[in-house]
Amino acid sequence: MRDPDSEAGHGLKALEAGADAAGLRLDQWLAAALGPDFSRNRVQALIRQGAVTVNGATVNELKRKMAKGDRAEVVIPEPEPAEPRGEAIALDILYEDDELIVINKPAGLVVHPGAGNWTGTLVNALIHHCGDSLSGIGGVKRPGIVHRLDKDTSGVMVVAKTDRAHKSLSDAFADHGASGELERAYLALVWNIPARVTGIIDAPLGRAADRVRRAVVPAGRGDARHAVTHYTVLERYGETAADAVKAALVECRLETGRTHQIRVHMAHISHPVIGDPDYGQAFRTKANRLPEPLQGLVRGLSRQALHAGLLGFCHPTTGEPMRLTAPMPLDMAEIVEGFRRL
């Protein structure tokens, strides 16, 4: 149980094991006893750092079994400054409170710093915007990225500001919405018109030959990951036999969340996302048969026409259902309007 006199946040926390703790691993018991502000990963890191004592002795063993009456003390350090630096990058904020922030990510914005993109990322922007409201994810004052959008995919993203929110949202995304608490819908402009108004693409994904892209692979392959996408055709363009080019506006809903999932799955059924540089190359010349100004809009599209239009989840502290939407960005909207005028 938690000692009511222990401090919140950083400092020293003293706890005593009750009868229900008997036989539990130290890291398992501490994660539950410290509450939702502390993820199990963070508890394990504190144990490894020598920040935990049991009955006065420092314990580094995660699997140490607890007994009724054991007294533990945990030294919680202040969150360290985030390694990436904050940058004043404009954000389109859809919702924000003390626990989380939801943004409409523009196409072209990388989510997390990495090779070739150490600055100018969403994380840099969030560190600057959130400032001291970041209480620390895993002991570091940084935003908690629980899901990502490709650099050139726009739309709704939720980011945690506290360990408690990070753990709750991570769990929701980890089970891919199996609990019913997660809803993700994307708008995609695709080449050709699917034969069925609705469909399910159930095809495992793994690494392609170049190790950057993904591909549909046999289910028995070592890196194969279960992947399911549900699609619904919203609009059809160029339906008659005389039309040289056919396309469709499709809503895709994710049952799983794999890297490049929608892009690979739609290409797999011969409906690649328009503008996709990785999975739609074979369809690039289709734009040449479109009339102007639509041809120019499609050829000038510098990214895949894919937008995360809706994200639904339960708030990590209130449990309130949240449903955030972002309108179709201008580059996609102009192409849609051009197809409608065909």
| Nearest-angstrom CA–CA distance, 122 and 120 | 7
pLDDT tens for each residue of 272-312: 999 999 999 889 899 999 999 999 999 999 999 999 999 99
Q: With beta carbons less than 8 A apart as the criterion, state whether 159 and 145 touch.
A: yes
Write down the pLDDT at residue 136. 66
Which runs of consecutive H residues, i.e. helices, occur in 145-198? 163-174
pLDDT tens for each residue of 20-67: 989 999 999 998 888 777 778 888 888 988 889 999 999 988 889 999
Q: Is the pLDDT of residue 2 over 80?
A: no
pLDDT tens for each residue of 248-260: 999 999 999 899 9
Q: Is the pLDDT of residue 118 over 90?
A: no
Write down the pLDDT at residue 139. 64
- The more confidently predicted of residues 130 and 140 is 130
Helix (H) / strand (E) containing 157: strand 154-160
The yes-or-no answer on residue 92 being catalytic is: no
Gyration radius (Cα) of the chain, Å: 24
| Nearest-angstrom CA–CA distance, 120 and 98 | 24
Per-residue DSSP letter, 288: G
pLDDT tens for each residue of 71-114: 999 988 776 555 778 899 999 999 999 999 999 999 999 998 87
| Nearest-angstrom CA–CA distance, 265 and 202 | 8
Which of 71-75, 132-136, 314-318 is predicted with the least confidence, judged by mean pLDDT?
132-136
Write down the pLDDT at residue 243. 67
Write down the pLDDT at residue 6. 39
Q: Is the pLDDT of residue 175 over 80?
A: no
pLDDT tens for each residue of 317-337: 999 999 999 999 999 999 999
Give me the catalytic one of 5, 92, 98, 150. 150
Structural domains of the chain ordered from first start: 11-77 (3.10.290.10), 81-174 (3.30.2350.10), 183-340 (3.30.2350.10)
Q: What are the phi and psi torsion angles at 195 (to 5°)?
A: -65, -30
- The more confidently predicted of residues 174 and 160 is 160
User: Percent of the chain at pLDDT above 90?
Assistant: 62
Please give the full DSSP string across 104-142, using - where no structure is assigned. Answer: EEPTT--SS-BTTBSSSSHHHHHHHHHGGG--BBTTEES
- The more confidently predicted of residues 215 and 13 is 215
CA 89 vs. chain centroid, Å, equals: 20
Lookup result for tokens 């339906």: 239
Please give the full DSSP string across 225-252, using - where no structure is assigned. Answer: B--EEEEEEEEEE--STT-S--EEEEEE
